[in-house]
Amino acid sequence: MSTSTDPGRDPVSIDWRKEVVVTFDLETTGLDPVRHSVVEIACVKFQGGEPRAFFSLLVKPPHPIPAEVTKIHGIGDQDVEEAPPLPSVLPMLESFVGTHLLVAHNAPFDLSFLRMEYARCGRPYPGFRAIDTRLLARSVLPHLGRYSLASLTRALDIPLQHHHRALSDAWACGDLFYALAERSSGEGALPLDGILVG
């Protein structure tokens, strides 16, 4: 996975054609990880551009979902009434991700929520790091102008059927990652400098 000789350091590049990566996305009750919580989490495991497995769960937050937020992702209190709370979901997430590198669109947002949720439940944070496809797109397509997931998938003709649902967005993020990686590195390794965040 890494061209670094020190296994304790972040990888400096990956062979995107062979490496297993896990794309992920969260839906939340708002934009502030301190005041808001996760209501849906999804991951898709990809290798060589092909999906291999997926993980998707609704999550019961500790407070009601605001109506204006439900209008965005379509998840209401009734949908999560029987869902597990996030502390019971985190071990499943860790097991699914394993040692693979994460990929997310606007990764700092999702990682900030994960960090806060781990802190709330007193569980050690696994040190997740993620390739940010938004940063990758800015380097590969510098004149595009808009870098939202919807804008990028539209520009690159990538399917995005249920935007603002975690599994659909994670799946589209994977397709976007491979489209951008091919444009960035061709047949070579993808450098991670400037696009790997945590």
* β-bridge mates for residue 28, sequence order: 38
Contact between residue 127 and residue 197 where contact means Cβ atoms under 8 Å apart = no
Please tell me which residue in 36, 73, 105, 164 is annotated as part of the active site.
164
Structure tokens at 49: 């551009």
Annotated active-site residue 164? The verdict is yes
Distances (CA, A) of 177 to 16, 45, 185: 9, 12, 12
Contact between residue 53 and residue 47 where contact means Cβ atoms under 8 Å apart = no
Give, as one character, the DSSP assignment of residue 161: S
C-alpha–C-alpha distance, residues 131 and 168, integer Å: 18
Look at the chain and count its residues.
Answer: 198
Environment class of 183 (CB within 10 Å of its CB; exposed 0-12, middle 13-18, buried 19+): middle
Contacts of residue 48, Cβ cutoff 8 Å, sequence gap at least 6: 17, 18
Active site members: 164
